[in-house]
Amino acid sequence: MNRHANSKALQIFAAGKRHFVSLALLPVAIIAAGMLAGCQTQFFPPADVLKEQAAMTGGLMTTNSELLTLKEGDAVKISFPGSPTFDTTQQIRRDGRITLTLIGDLDVVGMTPLELEKKLVDLYATQLTSKQVTVEVVGSTIPIYVTGMVMRAGKIMSDHPITALGAVMEAGGFDYNTANTKDVLVIRREGNIMKNYKLNLKDVLKGKANEQFFLKPYDIVYVPQRFSMF
């Protein structure tokens, strides 16, 4: 019986010792877990954060530049570092072309500057001492015609994307005594076809939700006369 009692006492003591050790190590375990969790998040000094943001922004700007496509009205500067006599700066015409020395008319609308550079290297291959050409968009103007019941009908030149309502405002605004603002037409050439788009600018002026209609080069905005019985 004494042996049995002594054995039981030893088991209870050992269990209590293990429990005590576990409690003693608990704070250490909590600290270790916190340290491991902290390792999952990286902290950068402010200078490093700014550098990271600048790198990301630069990358986005490069991507946007590469995706830029040439359109009518863009002014392009073309430089030939090894053959400066071919250098030119000109605006892309309504037919989507520019005129180059020795080459003549070249359709460039829809191309990226990089694609045009490669095209010119091929076209001038036998004339260049350096196989390098740079194309840069130095300006962009959108010629628009506004006619009908506006204060100053005629041609406007916009250097930024412009809506039909914006073009009317550039033309002095509507003649509200006679203008039919509900049935404004945008006349646009698409290929060899002339298409008409009817816009309700009266709703736009009232602040009602309406998708903005952006104009393309050489669009004609026509504001018709309001019908009146008197």
What pLDDT tens digit does each residue of the chain (230 aa) get?
Answer: 445 444 544 454 444 444 444 444 444 443 344 433 343 333 323 333 333 333 333 333 333 344 578 988 899 999 999 899 999 999 998 889 999 999 999 999 999 999 999 999 999 999 988 889 999 999 888 889 999 999 999 999 998 889 999 999 999 999 999 999 999 999 998 878 999 999 999 998 888 877 788 998 889 999 999 986 55
The Cα 23–Cα 181 span in angstroms is: 82
Name the residue with tokens 């309406």. 210
User: Which pLDDT score, from 0 to 100, does residue 1 have?
Assistant: 46
Closest C-alpha among 175, 184, 189 to residue 217: 189
- Strand locations in 64-141 (E): 74-79, 88-91, 97-100, 104-107, 134-140
CA dist 156 and 145 (Å) reads 6
**Full-model pTM:** 0.53
Domains of the chain and any CATH numbers: 70-140 (3.30.1950.10), 142-223 (3.10.560.10)
* pLDDT attached to residue 170: 95
Q: Which among 61, 64, 70 is positioned nearest to 117, based on CA atoms?
A: 70
Is 167 exposed, middle or buried (CB count within 10 Å of its CB: 0-12, 13-18, 19+)?
Answer: buried
Distance CA 158, CA 172 (A): 14
DSSP string, 171-215: TT-B-TTTB-TTSEEEEEEETTEEEEEEE-HHHHHTT------B-
Contacts of 167 (CB under 8 A, 6+ apart): 144, 146, 156, 158, 215, 219, 221
